[in-house]
Chain A
Amino acid sequence: MAQVTLNKVRKVYPNGAEALEPSTFTIPDGELCVLVGPSGCGKSTMLRMVAGLEDVTEGEISIGDRVVNDIDPADRNIAMVFQNYALYPHMTVARNMGYGLKNRGMDKGQIAEKVREAAQMLNLTEFLDRKPSQLSGGQRQRVAMGRAIVREPDLFLFDEPLSNLDAKLRNQMRIEIRALQRRLGTTAMYVTHDQVEAMTMADRIIVLSNGHIEQIGTPAEIYSNPASTFVAAFMGAPPMNLLNAEAGQGRVTLPGGEIVPQAGVNGHAGAVTVGIRPEDVMPSPQGDLTFNVDIIEELGAQRLLHGQMAGQAFSVAVPKDQEAATGEMRLALKPGAVHLFDADEGRRLG
């Protein structure tokens, strides 16, 4: 059990590319922290530095109260689960899981005991004598989990562990991993590019973009108070609508003259970006905003209406029992629906 602290950690590759700007944060003991962002944002680099598979250019990484910058990966007392499972293809499931313990000099009986326990926890008992090639994707992922668990590490590191699984299995494994991490109470860092995984699994989310941290917060904080247009657009599905608008004289006006209700401008004047989540608006004849529906997407539980507002792309989510038709309609906003961002840098205003 341990907390993880990064203190001004920076990564620059030999070719001069800065993969990660100096980043500082702490993951409290026992939390599952998800690093999320598009590919190339530096999230995997960050994870690999914590694992010791990548050198740290500047700054300090601590696991527990030990600075681990110069400690060998095998001595950091961590366990990592890789995207492609990274099982040893020539070893049986049991030997795969026990390999790390064997190298720590644990005796055979004890290893067998621990492997059996972990296998039971993961429903792998009947597969212990099989080779990885004889297992399905989900089973392999479980073996990789088992290999991590038997080590009883201070920290779990997950590098996009579910990306190679099909959608249904992914949902199931997501819940399993979450439940297992809760039960063991082990601190975990989890890298993914899938915002649904981030929202559903995390105690805390770190959103990264282009090598810098955009926002750190709980899933609810990130969803309801995105710190930038990047976070607003990246987190949540369907993504938040972002509209170009003008602030001035105490109100926000869309191109074409419609005034966005609820928008306090805090003395800001000039170009702004207005963010409205598709689920925060509802059709209403008395609504303040005009919306032109082009396409209706049926999702079962809800319908997505895609179209134009003030000449810009806009989407609305309505419950399944609400009638919808293409053409012009009026929209009203739910309370707290409007997010306001700086038009140039995308930072949140107020």
Chain B
Amino acid sequence: MKRAAFGHIGFPILLLLPQLAIIAIFFYWPAAYAVESSFYLQDPFGFGETFVGFDNYTRLTNSTNYINALNFTVVFTLLVTFFSLGIALLLAVKADKVIRGAKTYRTLLMWVYAIAPPVAGLIGVMLFDQSRGTITQVLASFGYDFRLGVNYWDTAAAMITVSVWKQIPVNFIFFLSGLQAIPRSVREAAMIDNRSGTSRFWDITFPLLAPTGFFLLIINITYSLFDTFGIVDTIVKGEPGNNPLTLVYRVYVDGFRGGDLGGSSAQSVVLMILVLILTIVQFRFLERRIHYT
């Protein structure tokens, strides 16, 4: 192959500049600023700041609110990731077998993807509403009194349900295209080798879907950690009270509601480090076991 050569080093840099500028302005600069302000105690009204070292961090470890949010976020992330991946995979496997009307069916399953997270949260709020919510009424007919925004577990369940529902279509699209990328003849060879459809799925289809699954795992964990902000926000309506909160929402509540910019920055830094560790762990330990064709 012929190598493209630039006469001068300045030209490629010029071409990269817009991308680099975007990354610098919207990612590195705020990140650096967060790290910096996590070592200061800001005056809530903007009258100066005091250097406090690691005080903001030690304060976090002693805060029950923060530890609660941390615990909830772990459980929330695990459940949302597990259910949105699991249900999407099930739907994809079933949709893959549909022959008649396949396109309509698939489009219907993907539709939810077009809904913005706050709207999804709003629909969730309507479904789970105290007096009019359809789901609340169904649960009431079974004798369960569902109290969104009042009962901690009920609110958590609603958050998880809406977040899972919102994420299923993305996973579904990826899983479906992953399934369709498996050569037909490989599946047919397996049909001749193995009578049981279930065991064929775990022996052949699932391992071949693993690269897709691994990619989606990372996407879904990131989604649960960060992108569910809109859903959490609509459901708790900015009134944290004793409601379950994710770490990201905690950053917002403490920083912008509580006026504690230093503490909020410290939380963001912790979050950044968590994501960094998570990504490294995933790539080091999981990816090795995955077969890429």
A residues with a Cβ closer than 8 A to B are 51-53, 72-76, 78-80, 82-84, 86-90, 99-100, 103, 131, 133, 147
- Selecting from B47-55, B122-130, B182-190, B265-273, the interface stretch reads B182-190
Interface positions, chain B 167-191, Cβ under 8 Å from A, are 183, 185-186, 188-191
Distance in angstroms from A65 CB to nearest chain B CB is 21
Shortest Cβ distance from B189 into A: residue = A86
Interface membership of B291, Cβ < 8 A: yes
Minimum Cβ distance to chain B for residue A85 (Å): 8
Number of A-B contacts (CB under 8 A): 63
Contact of B141 with A by CB under 8 A: no
The answer to whether B204 has its CB under 8 Å from any CB of chain A is yes
Residues of B within 8 A of A86 (CB): 183, 185-186, 188-189
B58 proximal to A (CB < 8 A): no
Chain A nearest CB, measured from B90 CB (Å): 21
Rounded to whole Å, the gap between the CB of A91 and the closest CB of chain B is 8
Q: Are B191 and A73 in contact (CB under 8 A)?
A: yes
Q: Does B1 have its Cβ within 8 Å of any Cβ on chain A?
A: no
The closest CB in chain A to the CB of B191 belongs to A73
**Chain B interface SS verdict (over half):** helix
**Could you tell me which residues of chain B, from 157 to 212, have a CB within 8 Å of some CB in chain A?**
183, 185-186, 188-196, 199, 203-204, 207-208, 210
Pairwise interchain contact B185-A83, C-beta atoms closer than 8 A: yes
B195 to A75, Cβ gap below 8 A? yes
**Given A76-B192, A99-B203, A100-B194; 10 other pairs, CB 8 A cutoff:** A74-B193, A80-B188, A82-B185, A82-B189, A86-B189, A88-B189, A88-B204, A90-B208, A90-B210, A100-B193
| B62 interfacial by beta-carbon distance below 8 Å | no
Determine if B191 and A89 form an interchain contact, defined as CB atoms under 8 angstroms apart: no
**Which of the residues A53, A79, A133 comes within 8 Å of B191, measured between beta carbons?**
A53
Option from B185, B186, B192, B203 in Cβ contact (under 8 Å) with A78? B192
CB atoms of B186 and A133 under 8 A apart: no
Asked, given contacts A89-B208, A89-B291, whether A99 binds B185 with beta carbons under 8 Å apart, the answer is no
Which chain B residues (198-245) contact chain A, with CB distance < 8 Å? 199, 203-204, 207-208, 210
Whole-angstrom CA separation of A188 from B194 in the bound complex: 21
Nearest CB in chain A: distance from B164 CB, A: 29
Asked if B63 lies at the interface with its beta carbon under 8 angstroms from chain A, I say: no
Of the A-B pairs whose beta carbons lie under 8 Å apart in the complex, a sample of 12, sorted by A's number, is A51-B188, A74-B193, A74-B194, A80-B188, A80-B192, A86-B183, A87-B189, A90-B207, A100-B194, A103-B193, A103-B195, A147-B189
Q: Which of A51, A76, A103 has the most CB of B within 10 A?
A: A103
Per a CB cutoff under 8 Å, which of A73, A79, A83, A133 touches B293? Answer: A133
Q: Shortest distance in angstroms between A325's beta carbon and chain B's nearest beta carbon?
A: 47
A72 touching B195, Cβ below 8 Å? yes
Given known A84-B183, A86-B186, A89-B293, contact A100–B192 (CB-CB < 8 A): yes
Q: Convert B94-132 into 0s and 1s, putting 1 for each residue whose CB lies closer than 8 angstroms to a CB of A.
A: 000000000000000000000000000000000000000
Which residues of B sit under 8 angstroms from A76, Cβ to Cβ? 192
Contact partners of A99 in chain B: CB under 8 A: 190, 193-194, 203
Chain A nearest CB: distance from B103 CB in Å?
Answer: 16
The 6 tightest CB contacts between A and B, nearest first, are A86-B185, A100-B193, A74-B195, A86-B189, A90-B291, A82-B185
User: How far apart sit A103 and B191, CA to CA, in the bound complex (Å)?
Assistant: 11
A83 to chain B, nearest CB (A): 7
